[in-house]
Structure 1
Amino acid sequence: MSAPTKLIALFVLAALCTIPITYGMVVDDPLIVVNSEKVDKEYAELLMDKYYSKRTLEINSDNEIVVTENIIYNVPALDEFEINDGKGNLLVEFTKSGETVTYKNFEYEEELESDDEGDEVTFMGKTYKLIEYDEDEKIVLGNKVEDTETTEEFSYDAFTFKIIGMDSTGQILVSVYEGSDRIENVKMYPDDTYFVSGSKISIYYDEYMESGDTPYFFFEIYDSLEIEDGETISGYSNIDTDLDGKRINLEYESPKSLSQNFELLNYKVELTDVSDEDLTVFFTVTQNLNYEFDMDEGTKYFGNNIFAVKIENDEDDDSDDESYLYKNNKKYSEIVDYQGSVQLVDQDELLSASSDLILIGGPVSNKVTESIQNSLSVEVTNDYPGEGKGIIQTITNPNNDESTILVLAGSDRDGTKACVLALNQGLYSGSGNLVVKLTGDDSVSVI
């Protein structure tokens, strides 16, 4: 994981892991080079977002550090693979017949950090409050979306909750409606949680107060997951659940029905290639995570020279706290961190480096492309290949014959975008020249 897209000098350069960009092309630790002042920077991010792990850090209104990750694994496998990120474990088993893959098992296992109700935990890469914990039987997780108070009723989403009775202990009887249909009546004491069956909504009965003869009831509404042993999780059909204390095991009931490329839980699994030489099958697995850190006062390290600092100005008022993000001792409101990226500025050192290069932008917008223009297989100008058109070409680095340069350059910004989209869509074989044209916002054709 790595550097923010805050740029220095002329270039943003991302040193990337060895990955297959298309079936026919493999690049080894390339540097992506663009002019930070041009729209080409956005095109570089299109390329990086597709192929490279990315992490975004920002501070929310509660002074929590919010982390969003898009982690990409390039997996070679024979008949199964496991991915264990230190938090959860994914197991995928399959059989292969020719180039056809049939899945035998999809299983995910994770253990919660705590079994104390009210604690903050993460599950499948998302932060939740542990609302209810019944060992080996039931777990309810939730994120609060709203506080509400009422004397009689309140609504959220498609549901209405009507208080139809209360006794002297504060116990209430609530009628739950979906639209105009009553689902059920439920009794609740203060500190009780009710999960609306078949939904992702739960309500927490916080307390009640009286003003004169009028009672006021206070509730918290949660976007929730109800995890019950032997049952499916709300919102996830065809997934069996097994609870063992804090450990949660999820198994897909009908893996043979999965297509070769599928999305399940917070994973996206894509079959990228089947080896002609051996039995190896190659997958690209993308995992999406979104979690929060509620820091104590002090400093927390997030890797790759990224730090968060929290200052508590008033012990009794969290709203006065201040949190900051730093990268290389520079303060940012948001940090976008690509795997393996670095920042360089010296053009001569760049061209003499051993790394392969990916140059985005023609000679007008990218000074590095301009410096090697005479070495290009096909010269790119404002007039050729023409409006909305670009050329993808691979050449030997004129300053270092042991490295190659992949050039994505157009006659204009649309032509350069067409090159990036064509590469993302696997239209380039990895050698020679390819002329492409932008035909829509996200569509491209080969000329």
Structure 2
Amino acid sequence: MAMSLKKIGAIAVGGAMVATALASGVAAEVTVIGDVSKDLFVKDGQPNCYVVVGADAPSTMDVVSAADIAAKIGSLCYKEGTVEDGSADIKIHAVANSDDWDILKNEIPNGNYTVFVAASDSDYSDSFDNAGADNYGLDANALDLNTNNVSKTVSLGDVATMLKVEDIDPSDWYNSDGDAGEIVAVAVKNDSDSLTIDKKAAIYMTLAYTDGGETFADHVALKPGMRIPFLGQEQAVVKIDADDDVIYLGTSVYDGVLKEGETYDVGNGYEVKVKSVLKSTNQGEYKVTIDILKDGKVVAEKSDTVTSTQSMKVIYGDKVGVVVHGAWMDVGENYGYAELLICKDVKELELGKKYVGDWKVYAITNDTNDKIELKSSIDSDTPVFGIALRYDGDKLDDLDSGDELDILDYVTFKFDDKDKTDKLYVYFSMDKSVDATLDIGQKVSALNADVTLKGIKADAVTPVALTAPIAKLDTEVSLDTADKNLVLVGGPVANKLTKALVDAGKLTLDNDSPATIAVLPGEANGHDVVVVAGGDREKTREAALELIKMI
């Protein structure tokens, strides 16, 4: 019976099939002659043999066995190696508390507030002590309180795991020697001998200061490309949009120079390309075109003018943000370069709107008295010194030990008697985890920890696509000309090559032979032969299933 190899080859190349009879509970008695090893069948990730079935085999069972063996060999075709690039998901966990303060011992006058402040650096929180509250307006302006009802402002020092960014201008785009830190403040009111936190009486701030600055008077105006902390992670300012009252932040993935025509792979199929840099007739002015691609297709394109004082911003949803800070051309003016910041995971902070839960977003500016002022709307001439998120939820009444205010699922303001009589302490506490995905070489600053993914040490397995059938008919290959090992399925009646080996005295097989797997070294033009056969078709099938288990 002639058999089409087209069908067998399709099964073999698929490589994903397993023998349907593998799950059989029948225990076959199989005679194994010689050493059966994987190298007989696969080498360097590629098939090292042909599975040969008789073109005139009297049983289709031999054909099925050949197909099953070929499929098993296909599943073994892969290459092993080590991982040299890629990304990793990391989690940073931190726990810290501020100093505490006995609120009963230091009684708040009835109807008055005490403002409690903590920060990533005690210099920041100390700047908002009593003098700081008067001079820089934390109580009245930021917390929307009547300053006449604020009895005192208390610094609780620092929460060590809140984030401080030591250099807000790492590329020296603006020649700014600033740093930025996180600050939290909560105003507690004595409301007829009941402790209360009013609406708007709690705030989270991220503020930029001159290097070594300790008061709000030392503030620095934010500009695109600057780095600030935001809820435990270092973020880059992508754009301050005065037209739509939106501040965009993103996670920096590249800060450097790209040549015209070059692209940067942001991840998840996104790329940023410097499409063109054209010199203008105006001195020091360039027209830059940036493309954002997804899976190789342009999904956004923007052209704009870049000068020494004017940057270019491109934002594509929450996926990619780009700031082009400078551009120039080579001496021969044959091609251009763009100095740029590329960010992923872009956050859109809409001023005056809720960002998380009951917390609204504000821009931090200064009023005419150089005090903190929160703005839900800004214009292009308004300098922004930071970002604030202020509590806009319900009033919290009758506060006592065990009560707390969760500040953006980041820092918690707690009341705790610590099992001490006539004492009620207040303090800020943090127990926080931050998840991040890093490519090799990338760094993330979170919870005051700098984490760099230096490399990935792991073994890798890569499937290999098969480009030719594994199975052949016994009329298509011979023992004298074979260029690979041969796996002969069927006894001398079913397979001509098996018959040739039996006739030459290399192997004994007859109608009474058990299921047999025999390895005959060098019998196929110097290559090895594996005979899978038995006294009848059932015995051949048993031998085939046993071979599949063995390899």
Tell me whether the two structures share a fold, i.e. TM-score over 0.5.
Answer: no
Q: Which has the higher helix share?
A: 2
TM-score for the superposition, normalised by structure 2: 0.29
TM-score for the superposition, normalised by structure 1: 0.35
Larger radius of gyration: 2
